[in-house]
Amino acid sequence: MALFTRNVGLLVLLVFVWSLTMCDAGILPNAGALPNAGALPNVTHVNITNDLGGDLTLTIHCKSADDDLGAHVLPPLISYEFVFRPNMWWTTQYFCSVEWPGASHYIDIYIQKRDQDRCDICMWVIVPYGGCLFNYKTRLYDICYPWNPPSY
């Protein structure tokens, strides 16, 4: 009987760890829509707005190590949003390529160690010199990052 109880306990533990992994990877249905729960980081929303000025259309393509979100075309002042749950190992990272006529750049749009405690709703504007994150303390888009250096 003790062997049976130990095996059932091990099975329950394995299913729990598997479920956490699938939720972190967004594989389980509606994983991004899960309510915020104790041990897991909060669901994070990233909202990115084209604020290039003029009549410039922005093409943005965001990815993580596990998740390619595809390319999206944003006319001026239009936003794109994605939702995910950061993993419990503090290694979630999303980067985006951004392109408009005459320009092509990359930016780290979410780095869990940098942003986890800063925002659950991370609102960005893309401007000609980089990306600026909304600062909830100042109520301004004043946390600005330049484009990532080109990789050759």
C-alpha distances in Å from residue 135, one per residue of 12, 69, 141: 42, 25, 6
pLDDT tens digits, 58-83:
999 999 999 999 999 999 999 999 99
Q: What is the C-alpha to C-alpha distance for residues 119 and 88, in angstroms, rounded to an integer?
A: 16
pLDDT at position 122 is 99
Q: What is the C-alpha to C-alpha distance for residues 152 and 83, in angstroms, rounded to an integer?
A: 31
- Under 8 Å between Cβ of 83 and 94: no
pTM of the model: 0.75
Instruction: Say what percent of the chain tops pLDDT 90.
Output: 70
DSSP labels for 90-151?
A: S--EEEEEEEETTEEEEEEEEEHHHHTTT-SEEEEEEETTEEEEEETTTTEEEEEEEPPPP-
**Residue with more model confidence, 25 or 73:** 73
CATH of domain 35-146: 2.60.40.10
pLDDT tens digits, 119-138:
999 999 999 999 999 999 99
- Average pLDDT along the chain: 85
pLDDT at position 59 is 99
Q: What is the C-alpha to C-alpha distance for residues 82 and 44, in angstroms, rounded to an integer?
A: 8
